[in-house]
Amino acid sequence: MIRRICSILLLASLTALTAFAQAGSGQTIRDYVGLINQTYHPDIVSYIEKFKIEFEKQGNSDAIKGVDRFLKGPFGTGFVYVAANGDNYIITNTHVIAQAYSLSITFEKIDGTKTRYDGIEIVAADEEADLALLAFPGGQKPFTEGLVIKGELVDEGTDVFSAGFPGLGGTPVYQFGRGIVSNAAARIPRNDNEEELMGPYIQHTAQIDAGNSGGPLLIAQAGAPAGYAVLAVNTLSAYRRQAANYSIPGNTVIEFINRVLDPDPVNEREVLEERINTFISEMNVPRAVYRDIAKYLSYVCVAENTEYAIAELEDKRASNRIVWNDIVETFNDYPINGMRLAVAWVVENAMRNRSGLIRISLNDLTEIGPGEYEASLDVNGTVIESRWIKEYGVWRINSFGSVAAGDKSLVEEKEKQRAKDAALFTDYALMLQVGYAQITDRGGGLNGMIRIGGRLFVDLGFVYAMDSDLLHTQAGCGFYIPIRLSGFAIMPLVEIAGGLMFTEGYKDHFRTKTSSMTRFGFSIQAGLMLTTAAVRGLYFYGLYQYNNYSDFDIGIVEPIKPDKSYILLGAGFGL
Mean pLDDT of the chain: 86
Domain ranges for the chain, please list them.
19-261, 268-420, 430-574
Read off the pLDDT of each residue in 292-307 and give the average, rounded to a whole number: 93
Please give the class, per CATH, of domain 268-420. alpha beta
- What span, in angstroms and rounded, lies between the C-alpha atoms of 454 and 427? 6
pLDDT for the residue numbered 91: 97
Q: Give the distance from CA 497 to its chain's centroid.
A: 48
Beta pairing partners, 527: 493, 543
Asked if the model's pLDDT at residue 379 lies above 80, the reply is yes
As a whole number of angstroms, the distance between CA 340 and CA 298 comes to 9
Class level of CATH domain 19-261: mainly beta
Same fold, 19-261 and 268-420: no
Which residue type, as a one-letter code, is found at position 236? L
Q: What is the pLDDT of residue 554?
A: 44
Is the pLDDT score of 452 beyond 50? yes
Averaged over 519-528, what is the pLDDT?
92
DSSP string, 263-297: PPP--HHHHHHHHHHHHHHHHSSSS--HHHHHTTB
Cα–Cα distance, 397 to 300 (Å, whole number): 9
pLDDT exceeding 70 applies to what percent of the chain? 90
Q: Is the pLDDT of residue 12 over 70?
A: no
Collect all residues with Cβ–Cβ distance below 8 Å to 522 and sequence separation of at least 6: 496, 497, 498, 499, 547, 548, 549
What is the number of other CB atoms lying within 10 angstroms of the CB of residue 314? 16
**CATH number attached to the domain at 430-574:** 2.40.160.20
Q: What is the mean pLDDT of residues 306-328?
A: 89
